[in-house]
Structure 1
Amino acid sequence: MQLLTKKYNFLQENAILGLLFSFSIIEVLAELFSFKVILFAFRPLVAILLIYLYWVTSKERNVLFYMTVFFLLLTSIFILFESILFLILGLIGIFTHRILLIFYIIKLNNIKDFVPILIAIIPFVFIFSYLLSISDEIPKGSYYPLVAQNILVSILAGVILSNYFMNDSNNSPWLAIFGLLSTALYFTVFIEKCFLSNLPPTYFRPLAMILYVTSYYSFYRFVIDAETINAKKEAITVTQ
């Protein structure tokens, strides 16, 4: 019975993954050809499938994962509209998402020493601040939101970078992959908005969509790995 259950869960997981990457290909094509109706219909499905995939595969089903991806889902919907209200809601959503993301990674990796994080943040803050200072194409009213975004992305990158070098006992390669892809995603969007806004969006958005899907799939895999590692540590502690 247990073998049948494992086989069913394996098939279910692969079916969800197949849907996830199929929808991602549709999204990339929609971005390439600017099909807004398809974007509106399929973009939220990426976050929804991640939530369902985690529900199927995780034994812990941590509420922080659902909250983090839920705000990602809200943001992916809000940014499809062009009104000021939805823009503000999108900014609130992405700020909340990134704060939860940082807190969740710190919690999963049991990080207690924050000095390496502070050191690792510095180069990212410097790079993004420099790029912001030399940009002549910052959209009106976007300067302070971009500063806040730069700080949050720098903190996230600093947490991941410091964990990679300082926390060997609780390291998952998926966290490093997520950090690389998510930083590349933000860098791509940042360059598009602040330096090359005169170019058609089809130059960057298909790439951004690929980075978006692969980075958050990597985040999901990191969470599963971290939960497995932490469960094994707890089991060893109990037996001792």
Structure 2
Amino acid sequence: MENLTQKKTIELISILYFSTALLFLIDEIFKINNLFHYFGLLRLILLQILYIYSSSKRNYLFITILLFVIISNFFFQSKIKSFLVYGMVAYLINRFLSLALVYKSMRKKRIIPFLIGSFPFLFFYLYIIFLIDEFYVFNFLVILFNAILMSLLGGIALSNYYLENNDISNKNYLLLISIIMFMMQNLIFILQKYYTLEKIFEPINIALNTLSLYIFYRFIILSEKE
């Protein structure tokens, strides 16, 4: 009975998470109400609650990662330009902790395959970065460090997916999908900030962010069950 209640509660929180994200996305498109803008942060808080409730081990590193996701999103949503710097720093911390968490969750630490798998992702990032004509040195360093961290995450995800078990039900499949989605968000962010593209990409970014975080959460839950 207790397991059934927990399962239904998890389903309810999951529905609330995606419903809140949907309202946030709709508001981004149609600008319905300023209050809906805060739903972007609310969905992240719901995801943290979802993890704390559904996890049997309570990995405090992942909880800290979600906290920095909330902090970075808060700064990125602000219209104050100086807050963008704080958001970038919080985002970098989030990515560094994510790398540590993912590496720690791997049963076999294969350094060489990790590094080899990182090169395609790093080349992709460097190509995009060096297309940018003008940016501040600080912004360049933040983007470069993010590229390195994300490339390492991609290398871990790719190598483990192919070396362990490339089944779609495997946790490494979820990790690979979430990392690819994170990278797509990075690409959209860079294009929007430095190529002044239309805001049409923002709803896509919200959808990717919502799905990638949930998939990453599922990866953590499956890792804890092993």
TM-score by length of 1: 0.85
Deviation, 1:147, is 1.7
Cα separation, 2, equivalents of 1:38 and 1:209: 17
| Matched residue, 1:62 | 59
Deviations, residues 116-157 of structure 1 (Å, cap 9, x unaligned): 111111121112111222234x55453222222222221221
Match of 1:232 in 2: none
Q: What secondary structure is seen at the aligned counterpart in 2 of 1:156? A: helix
2:47 pairs with 1:50: yes
Deviations, residues 86-133 of structure 1 (Å, cap 9, x unaligned): 222211110000001011011111342211111111121112111222
Q: How much has 1:7 moved relative to structure 2?
A: 1.3
Q: Percent identity at matched positions?
A: 27
CA 1:12/1:27 → structure 2, altered by over 3 Å: closer, same or farther? same
Matched-pair contact (CA < 8 Å) for 1:27–1:43: yes
Quote the RMSD (CA, aligned, Å). Answer: 2.1
Matched, 1:184 2:184: yes
| Distance in 2 between residues matched to 1:181 and 1:154, nearest whole Å | 13
Deviation at 1:169, TM superposition (A): 9.8
Letter in 2 for 1:119: I
Given candidates 4, 7, 10, the residue that maps to 1:13 is 10
Q: Given residue 179 of structure 2, which amino acid in structure 1 is its aligned partner?
A: G
Structure 2: state its 5+ residue gaps: none
> Is the CA contact (8 Å cut-off) linking 2:154 and 2:176 kept in structure 1?
no
Larger Rg: 1 or 2?
1
**Partner in structure 2 of residue 237 of structure 1:** none
Alignment of 1:98-137 (within 5 A): 98-136=95-133
Do 2:27 and 2:37's aligned partners in 1 also have CA atoms closer than 8 Å?
no
Q: Secondary structure at the match of 1:49?
A: helix
Measure, in 2, the Cα distance between the counterparts of 1:89 and 1:34. 26
- Segment of structure 1 superposing worse, 36-45 or 100-109: 36-45
Aligned residue in 2 for 1:236: none
CA displacement at 1:212 relative to structure 2: 0.1
Alignment match, 2:162:
165
Change in Cα spacing, 1:187 to 1:85, as seen in structure 2 (3 Å) is: closer
Separation of aligned partners in 1, 2:63 and 2:120: 31
Q: Given the alignment of the two structures, is residue 88 of structure 1 paired with residue 80 of structure 2, yes or no?
A: no
- 1:205 and 1:35, CA in 2 relative to 1: closer, same or farther beyond 3 A? farther
Structure 1 residue ranges without an equivalent (≥5): 230-240
TM-score by length of 2: 0.89
Q: Which runs of 4+ in 1 moved over 6 A?
A: none
Distance between the aligned counterparts of 2:140 and 2:115, measured in 1? Answer: 24
1:147 partnered with 2:144: yes
Kindly indicate whether the alpha-carbon contact (under 8 Å) linking 2:192 and 2:198 is maintained by their aligned counterparts in 1.
no
Identify the residue that residue 27 of structure 1 maps to in structure 2: 24
Listed one character per residue, the Cα deviations across residues 194-221 of structure 1 (whole Å, up to 9, x for unaligned) are 33x1x331x1000000000000000111
